[in-house]
Structure 1
Amino acid sequence: MMKLTFLGSGCWQGIPAPFGDDEISTKVEGDKSWLINDLSKCNELGFKEVDIVDIAAVSRDVWQSRLEKADVIMVGGGNTSYLIDQIRKSGLDNILPALLTTRVYVGVSAGSMVVAPNLREKEMQRLYEEPIIDDATNEGLGFVDFLVVPHMNSQYFPRAGELVNEVARGITTPLYAIDDQTAV
């Protein structure tokens, strides 16, 4: 059975600690202070060790052995389309279910979105104004049967609150719109 925790981006209640943690980095342009804040929270929670793994930059044998040492696999935010594309290209999608039988998955922002059955890229692109990778799949990992829309009422994504109801009307999959202090 998989152990999943979803985060908007600022909510850290309920994260198991002290454990070792691997943060899978994702493509994001500009200021990355949010990533530093997320990693600082791991330290504040007493995680014994934090390792950043870029599955797009190192070989599978390198990232897989590092993930196998972790108790928590935290998949960070960034471009959702890029993240799912790299998860599939790297082969992480094939081994993640087995890893999660003994580890906790923490999805932060885009990391919480990729575990859904689909990414609803066109709708989500309107909310987050991020580019879609042309050859990326619209299919999520399917670990859960609902969609997560993080960052409601966030100053960084001002249109999310305005457009989420419109997006929700056009889909049949259950949708959880959460702010940065909420976990599902």
Structure 2
Amino acid sequence: MKLLLTSAGISNTSIHNALVDLLGKPITEASALFVPTAIYALPNGADIARRVICGSLGDPFCELGWKSLGVLELTALPSIKQKLWVPMLQETDALLVGGGDCQYLCYWMQQSGLADLLPSLLRKTVYVGLSAGSMIMTRFGTTYGDHTLPAESAKSLRLVDFALHPHLDHEWFPENSLANLEKLAATIPVPSYAIDDHTAIKVTDGTVEVVSEGHWKLFTPNITHIDV
């Protein structure tokens, strides 16, 4: 399994190099599919999706010079035959999963059938998450958006055994102060990574590596370790 779990995208050279390492080739020689689904649960979600695709919002993600880039909208997949999209998914080098609402994204990952495909798919394809797109792969997810899903709907897929808290100390997210995230991490019985927008978590077949040109903190149950 190859994962690059970012807070805000490919925000610096270290994270860029980690992506190239996971791909095993330059980005200009790699194909990618972008999943915007989580964004639609937020106000102005359609416009945010457009801006992420065009590269006019946030750090580089879709606009990295991919050899090819497509859009995979999860809400459409249950209504079309898998033969129309599964082969395309299997042939892509990178799956770019955007941010937004974890619960909404997790629901459509499951409803579309993509969640069931991920364990086999990620033997070859690199999963690149951004914010909620990163969080749903871990043991912790949140609900920020506005939707009508049942309250008990899952907020994460739990494919890795740690929690991730992005946007550490970001001015847009005052609730993500280090003190608040430490309190939140104390309620979670697995290690928790609090990462800022210049940090990512790289997972390669179970090996976890922090890639950072910024600030991050790892909380473990009853033990706290810091690195900056």
Number of the residue aligned with 1:57? 76
Is the CA contact 1:115–1:142 (under 8 Å) kept in the aligned structure 2?
yes
**TM-score scaled to structure 1, two decimals?**
0.83
> Is the CA contact (8 Å cut-off) linking 1:21 and 1:70 kept in structure 2?
yes
Q: 2:107 aligns with which of 77, 85, 88?
A: 85
**In 2: Cα distance, 1:75 partner to 1:3 partner:** 14
Q: Distance in 2 between matches of 1:154 and 1:35?
A: 22
In the superposition, the TM-score normalised over structure 2's length comes to 0.68
Query: What whole-Å deviation, never above 9, does each CA across 1:12-55 have from its counterpart, x for those lacking one?
Result: 422222310101112232251345436954433x3101111101
Instruction: Report which of the two structures shows the higher radius of gyration computed on alpha carbons.
Output: 2
Indicate whether 1:75 and 2:97 are aligned.
yes
Kindly indicate whether residue 188 of structure 2 is the aligned counterpart of residue 174 of structure 1: no
Determine which of 63, 71, 79 is the counterpart of 1:43.
63
Provide the residue aligned with 1:15 in structure 2: 19
Residues 34-84 of structure 1: per-residue CA shift (max 9 Å, x gap): 45436954433x310111110112435233233122100111111111000
Identify which of 118, 122, 140 aligns with 1:100: 122
Q: Is the 8 A contact 1:117 1:142 kept in 2?
A: yes
* Residue in 2 that maps onto 1:158: 174
Specify every segment of 5 or more residues in structure 2 that has no aligned partner in the other structure, as ranges.
21-26, 202-228
Give the corresponding residue for 1:29.
Answer: 43
**Larger strand fraction of residues:** 2
Distance (whole Å) between structure 1 residues aligned to residue 2 and residue 81 of structure 2: 23
Contact 1:73/1:105 (CA < 8 Å) preserved in 2?
A: yes
C-alpha displacement of 1:178: 0.8
**Aligned-pair Cα RMSD in Å:** 2.3
Does the 8 Å CA contact 1:11/1:180 hold for their aligned counterparts?
no
- Return the alpha-carbon distance in structure 2 between the equivalents of residues 118 and 159 of structure 1: 16
| Secondary structure of the structure 2 residue equivalent to 1:106 | strand
Q: 1:29 to 1:136 in 2, by over 3 A?
A: farther
Q: Specify whether residues 144 and 173 from structure 1 end up closer, same or farther in structure 2 by C-alpha distance, changes over 3 A only.
A: same
Q: Distance in 2 between matches of 1:110 and 1:165?
A: 19
Q: How many corresponding residue pairs?
A: 175
Deviation of 1:158 (Å): 1.8
Residue 54 of structure 1 contacts residue 63 of structure 1 at CA under 8 Å; is this kept in 2? no
Which range is displaced more, 149-158 or 103-112?
A: 149-158
**Distance (whole Å) between structure 1 residues aligned to residue 132 and residue 112 of structure 2:** 17
Rounded Cα–Cα distance in structure 2 between residues aligned with 1:29 and 1:144 = 30
Q: Does 1:3 align with 2:23?
A: no
**Which gives a bigger RCO, structure 1 or 2 (Cα 8 Å, sep 6+)?**
1
